[in-house]
């Protein structure tokens, strides 16, 4: 009886989060309550004590690091926004459009592991709003920036919720994951991906905005209350994901642990349509091999950039700049598929020699 209920909960999370607008807008609260319900169901029907002191401590304390990072970085951005954006055009003119775009994408991708993907996405929005390129190139620049940020944020647990969830789930034996676990085990894959995203901008021409063309521009100005609200949402979001991840353990043990690494990589193309941190909470287990964990996470991190709901940077950037799903997918799907194929080939060669 437990297994069908857990599958129903998982499907509800995946479907409602992308199809019901009120759920989509309040996804943090939704996942928190679903997480509480899921753990309670397993506690009652699973024949074991799932509501433990260890789980509650893990859920309450694991999100603190990334929450503090988001709050502090948010205050810095709020304080320095006018200074930074005021020099954007000067730096762009000094470096030239193409070099500026390459450095912007790479810098934000690497910085996202320190200032969080959320703040990096907000900075991207601010910069793109200030530029004077044509709309088509600005969309491509935003998409490439979000791929870079989505990848780079995976290097540390303060980068994005996916990393925080993974560290929390792998903190015990046999991995004893610490702050540098993601950097150590995925850095050799992620950093080249960030560089590739930056260099990919050279394939597109940053044309000048023509008279009458609707440019991308930020449709909301942030204040101190927004910084606090966003930080609280991040905290609630991760608490909910940790609870969900704990409740899905019976499903992981039965259906995921036996899957080959390369199958996990391609299965996680589902990350394009739902937040990759949610899928990480449902999949990652300390009983998985390192190759399985690496393949699963790489699939999640790459595919998460392909559609707007795939990760937080996409949602923030597309929402604030008014990019439609069609405009996003036109650039992001081909780019994401190319990266998936490239990473599949590289991972297969490194791990299995073919």
Q: In whole angstroms, how far apart are CA 209 and each of 7, 66, 134, 185, 205?
A: 49, 38, 4, 43, 12
Per-residue model confidence as pLDDT tens for the chain (354 residues): 788 898 898 888 888 877 888 887 888 899 899 999 999 998 888 766 678 898 899 999 999 999 998 899 889 888 877 777 677 778 888 888 899 999 999 999 999 999 999 999 989 998 888 887 888 899 999 999 999 999 999 999 999 999 999 999 999 999 999 999 999 999 999 999 999 999 999 998 776 655 555 567 666 677 889 889 989 998 998 999 899 888 888 888 888 888 999 999 999 998 888 888 888 988 999 999 999 999 999 999 999 999 888 888 998 898 888 888 889 999 999 999 999 999 999 999 987 766
Per the structure, the count of domains in the chain is 1
For 270, the domain range is 2-207+214-352
Q: In whole angstroms, how far apart are CA 170 and each of 48, 95, 284, 311, 320?
A: 21, 43, 8, 21, 34
CA–CA distance, 177 with 258 (Å, rounded to integer) = 22
CB atoms closer than 10 angstroms to residue 6 = 22
CA–CA distance, 311 with 143 (Å, rounded to integer) = 12
pLDDT of residue 215: 63
Given a contact cutoff of 8 angstroms between Cβ atoms, the answer to whether 107 and 272 are in contact is: no
Give the burial class of 336: count Cβ atoms within 10 A of its Cβ; 0-12 exposed, 13-18 middle, 19 or more buried. buried
- 72 phi/psi in degrees, rounded to 5: -65, -45
Does the global pTM surpass 0.85?
yes
Given a contact cutoff of 8 angstroms between Cβ atoms, the answer to whether 134 and 213 are in contact is: yes
pLDDT of residue 220: 67
H, E, C per residue of the chain:
CHHHHHHHHHHHHHHHHHHCHHHHHCHHHHHHHHHHHHHHHHHHHCCCCCCCHHHHHHHHHCCHHHHHHHHHHHHHHHHHHHHHHHHHHHHHHHHCHHHHHHHHHHHHHHHHHHHCHHHHHHHHHHHHHHCCECHHHHHHHHHHHHHHHHHHHHHCCCCCHHHHHHHHHCCCCCCCCCCCHHHHHHHHHHHHHHHHHHHHHHHCCCCECCCCCCCCCCCCCCCHHHHHHHHHHHHHHHHHHHHHHHHCHHHHHHHHCCCCHHHHHHHHHHHHCCCHHHHHHHHCCCCCCHHHHHHHHHHHHHHCCCCHHHCHHHHHHHHHHCCCHHHHHHHHHHHHHHHHHHHHHHHHHHHHCC
């Amino acid at each position: 009886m437990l297994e069908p209920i857990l599958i129903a909960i998982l499907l509800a999370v995946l479907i409602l989060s992308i199809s019901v607008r009120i759920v989509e807008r309040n996804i943090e609260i939704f996942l928190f309550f679903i997480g509480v319900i899921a753990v309670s169901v397993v506690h009652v029907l699973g024949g074991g004590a799932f509501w433990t002191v260890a789980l509650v401590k893990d859920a309450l304390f694991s999100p603190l690091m990334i929450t503090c990072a988001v709050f502090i970085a948010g205050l810095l951005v709020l304080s320095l926004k006018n200074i930074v954006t005021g020099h954007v055009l000067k730096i762009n003119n000094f470096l030239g459009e193409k070099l500026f775009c390459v450095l912007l994408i790479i810098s934000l991708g690497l910085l996202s592991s320190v200032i969080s993907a959320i703040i990096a996405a907000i900075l991207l929005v601010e910069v793109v709003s200030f530029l004077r390129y044509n709309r088509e190139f600005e969309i491509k620049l935003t998409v490439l920036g979000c791929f870079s940020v989505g990848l780079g944020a995976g290097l540390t647990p303060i980068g994005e919720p996916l990393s925080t969830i993974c560290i929390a789930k792998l903190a015990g034996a046999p991995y004893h994951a610490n702050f540098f676990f993601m950097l150590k085990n995925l850095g050799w894959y992620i950093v080249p991906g960030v560089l590739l995203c930056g260099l990919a901008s050279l394939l597109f021409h940053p044309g000048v905005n023509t008279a009458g063309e609707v440019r991308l521009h930020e449709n909301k100005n942030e204040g101190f209350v927004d910084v606090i609200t966003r930080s609280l949402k991040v905290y609630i979001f991760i608490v909910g994901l940790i609870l969900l991840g704990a409740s899905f353990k019976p499903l992981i043990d039965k259906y995921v642990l036996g899957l080959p690494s390369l199958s996990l990589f391609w299965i996680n193309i589902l990350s394009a349509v739902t937040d990759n941190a949610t899928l990480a909470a449902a999949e990652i287990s300390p009983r998985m091999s390192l190759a399985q964990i690496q393949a699963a996470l790489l699939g999640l991190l790459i595919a998460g950039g392909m559609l707007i709901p795939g990760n937080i940077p996409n949602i923030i950037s597309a929402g604030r700049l008014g990019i439609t799903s069609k405009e996003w997918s036109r650039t992001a799907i081909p780019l994401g598929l190319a990266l998936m194929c490239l990473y599949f080939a590289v991972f297969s060669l490194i791990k299995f020699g073919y």
